[in-house]
């Protein structure tokens, strides 16, 4: 027992490290673990988005030069669905890249090579801001549903609905679009980390969500199919 409240940034945080350079990734992981944090490692952008959805980390350390996609896309992707602080790791010692990263929603950047004490200090600062930002994520309502994106909590007529992490991620993805249709591929990418994941998964999980959320799952009025496009929240 540490006696610290859960809001203290000095609590062990879960940090997602998205870095394709295996040597640097291991060094970062070891450094962060030595500082008392939990670490989730991702070697590509797709893996990064997948672990972001799966582990809901407290902070993301993001390399901009990734093999499968530009790290800038990941900033946008993460920021669309979570207030998680993002610190960009960049070898690009150029002002425009840093400005672009910050404009897209990154909280800070560290230029490689960096000093460990400086990186840890920036992580502490970003975690402090993250605790404040989480309270400001929106609550989306649809009919009897209240989807609290900050607390990752769903209420139906005031009662908590128990959803699996994937069910929640799928619903949250629809919720952040506030009623606009979300393409099948975007949902697969966001929840399963690949646009090539089987559409069948999506149908199964949409079915499960309807059973838990709709008054009559056979005639849904909350989670609506857009034929040939995707789904949207009413
Ligand atoms: Ca890289």
What pLDDT, in 10s, does the model give residues 131-177? Answer: 666 666 678 899 999 998 877 889 999 888 998 888 998 999 899 88
Measured torsion, CA atoms of residues 161, 165, 167, 170, in degrees rounded to the nearest 10: 120
Residue 23 falls in which region: left (phi positive, over 0), alpha (psi -120 to 50) or beta: alpha
Angstrom distance (rounded) from CA 142 to CA 166 = 20
The domain total for the chain is: 2
Ligand 1 centroid, distance to 67 Cα (angstroms) = 7
- Is residue 141 in a domain? no
- What CATH number is given to the structural domain containing 90? 3.40.50.2300
Angstrom distance (rounded) from CA 194 to CA 201 = 12
Ligand 1 centroid, distance to 22 Cα (angstroms) = 9
- What CATH number is given to the structural domain containing 171? 1.10.10.10
Cα 226 to Cα 181, 202, 204, 205, distances in angstroms = 7, 13, 16, 16
Whether 214 and 100 share a structural domain: no
Instruction: For residue 137, give the 3-state DSSP assignment.
Output: coil
- Is residue 154 in a domain? no
Whether 103 and 183 share a structural domain: no
- Is residue 150 in a domain? no
The torsion angles phi and psi of 84, rounded to 5 degrees, stand at -50, 125
Task: Give 111-131 pLDDT, tens digit per residue.
Answer: 888 889 999 999 988 888 776
- Global confidence as pTM: 0.59
Ligand 1 centroid, distance to 64 Cα (angstroms) = 6
CA 219 to chain centre: 31
Mean pLDDT: which of 10-19, 78-87, 192-201, 217-226 is highest?
Answer: 217-226
Whether 7 and 105 share a structural domain: yes
Run of H or E residues at 17? strand 14-18
What count of other Cβ atoms lies within 10 Å of the Cβ of residue 80? Answer: 13
**Mean per-residue pLDDT for 178-193?**
86
Parent domain of 31: 2-135
> Are 230 and 183 within 8 A, CB to CB?
yes
Task: Give 67-84 pLDDT, tens digit per residue.
Answer: 998 889 899 888 877 788
Angstrom distance (rounded) from CA 86 to CA 55 = 15
What count of other Cβ atoms lies within 10 Å of the Cβ of residue 122? Answer: 19
Q: Residue 45 class from Cβ within 10 Å (0-12 exposed, 13-18 middle, 19+ buried)? A: buried
> Are 90 and 64 within 8 A, CB to CB?
yes
pLDDT of res. 132: 65
Ligand 1 centroid, distance to 25 Cα (angstroms) = 10
The torsion angles phi and psi of 229, rounded to 5 degrees, stand at -120, -65
Whether 115 and 172 share a structural domain: no
- Is residue 112 in a domain? yes
- Is residue 208 in a domain? yes
- Is residue 209 in a domain? yes
pLDDT of res. 135: 60
- Is residue 151 in a domain? no
Residues with C-beta atoms within 5 A of ion ligand 1: 20, 63, 65
């Amino acid at each position: 027992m540490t006696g610290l409240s859960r809001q203290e940034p000095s609590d062990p945080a879960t940090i997602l490290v998205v870095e394709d350079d295996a040597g640097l990734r291991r060094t970062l992981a070891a450094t962060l673990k030595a500082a008392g944090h939990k670490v989730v490692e991702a070697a590509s952008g797709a893996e990064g988005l997948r672990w972001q959805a799966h582990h809901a980390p407290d902070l993301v350390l993001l390399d901009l030069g990734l093999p499968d996609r530009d790290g800038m896309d990941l900033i946008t992707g993460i920021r669309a669905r979570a207030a998680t602080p993002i610190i960009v790791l960049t070898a690009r010692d150029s002002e425009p890249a840093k400005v672009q990263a910050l404009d897209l929603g990154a909280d800070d950047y560290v230029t490689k090579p960096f000093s460990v004490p400086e990186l840890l200090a920036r992580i502490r600062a970003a975690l402090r801001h993250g605790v404040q930002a989480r309270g400001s994520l929106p609550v989306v309502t649809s009919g009897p549903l209240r989807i609290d994106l900050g607390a990752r909590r769903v209420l139906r007529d005031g009662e908590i609905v128990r959803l699996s992490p994937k069910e929640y991620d799928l619903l949250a993805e629809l919720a952040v679009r506030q009623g606009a249709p979300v393409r099948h591929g975007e949902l697969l990418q966001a929840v399963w980390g690949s646009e090539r994941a089987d559409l069948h998964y999506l149908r199964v999980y949409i079915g499960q969500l309807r059973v838990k959320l709709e008054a009559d799952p056979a005639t849904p009025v909350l989670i609506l199919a857009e034929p040939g496009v995707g789904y949207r929240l009413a």
